[in-house]
Amino acid sequence: MKKNVSLLFCVLFEICFSQKGLVNYGFIDAMTIGNGKGPDSNSYLIFNKEQSYYVTAKDSLEQVDKINEQKVYSNDDDSGGTIYNGMKVSKEGDQVVYNIKKDTIWSNLLYRKQIYIKEVSPKINWNISKETKQIGNHHCQKATTFFRGRDYTAWFTTDIPVPFGPWKLQGLPGLILEAYDKNKEVYWYFKSIDYPSNIKDEVKFKIIPTKEVFLTYEEFKALQKKEQDIVIEKSMILKKQFPQIEVEKPKLSIMFIECE
């Protein structure tokens, strides 16, 4: 009898982890103002037992009028706001592929041009809290961490015991349904889930265009510093025309999600 129970458990476990899932998120990019105030992009995550594929800021996921919409997001203290001249989107979108067996993350993002990165999966040191809340139909638990320059809170559910989440957030004992940094400069919120899913889209590997190369994460950090310098150079040119302008080195936290 014990052997039969063990066999049944193994079969159910394998069925659970062989199923495909699809999560739809909203992603708010509020890196210039915080408080979750910024352009709101559609995002989704497809996963199976071995790999996840995440994408956002993809033009085909958004309506044309929303992409081109100019909008002002105000500060809470009435000190002004930030004007967004449309959304940041590209044909590829910003993508992240995480493969457990290969212990690798492939990603790309748009910053003046498409940037491609390949890295060993970062080990995120999560602190799991006893605090819980309901998200959709799922009981979720709180976890916090410091990762790549930001303090994050994530809400995950062991109802779906896979270590995946939006962007590069991963490594918890359940699927992440919501995540944000301390100032809500970046904020992923749950919209819907289809699990198990019959979606035809595959959990894909990252394929890059001909002549493009993957940067290491260290090379990506060096590129970030160069981008800071480019912004300073442009600001200095502007200052010659308008001497009253104050020129400061731009913070990585308003340029990139990763801001070490």
Flag whether 45 is in a domain.
Answer: yes
Flag whether 259 is in a domain.
Answer: no
Is the backbone peptide bond immediately before 196 cis, with ω within 30 degrees of 0? yes
pLDDT of residue 195: 94
Torsion sign (Cα): 7, 157, 181, 110:
positive
Flag whether 1 is in a domain.
Answer: no
Q: Six-digit token pair at 111?
A: 């910053």
Flag whether 186 is in a domain.
Answer: yes
Flag whether 174 is in a domain.
Answer: yes
Q: Which domain holds residue 115?
A: 20-216
Q: Where are the alpha helices (DSSP H) in the chain?
A: 2-18, 64-67, 217-241
pLDDT in tens, 2-51: 444 333 334 333 434 458 999 999 999 999 889 998 899 999 999 999 99
CATH code (residue 169): 2.50.20
Flag whether 245 is in a domain.
Answer: no
- Which of 168, 127, 173 has the alpha carbon at shortest distance from 148? 168
Q: Alpha-carbon dihedral of residues 33, 37, 38, 41, nearest 10 degrees?
A: 140
Q: Alpha-carbon dihedral of residues 72, 45, 132, 36, nearest 10 degrees?
A: -10
Given a contact cutoff of 8 angstroms between Cβ atoms, the answer to whether 33 and 183 are in contact is: no
* Global pTM value: 0.88
For residue 183, give the amino acid letter. N
Flag whether 210 is in a domain.
Answer: yes
Tens place of pLDDT for every residue, the chain, 260 residues? 444 433 333 433 343 445 899 999 999 999 988 999 889 999 999 999 999 999 999 999 999 888 887 778 777 666 566 767 778 899 999 999 999 999 999 999 999 999 999 999 999 999 999 999 999 999 999 999 999 999 999 999 999 999 999 999 999 999 999 999 999 999 999 999 999 988 877 777 777 888 899 999 999 999 999 999 998 888 888 778 877 777 788 899 999 999 99
Flag whether 31 is in a domain.
Answer: yes
Query: Considering its fold, how many domains does the chain have in total?
Result: 1
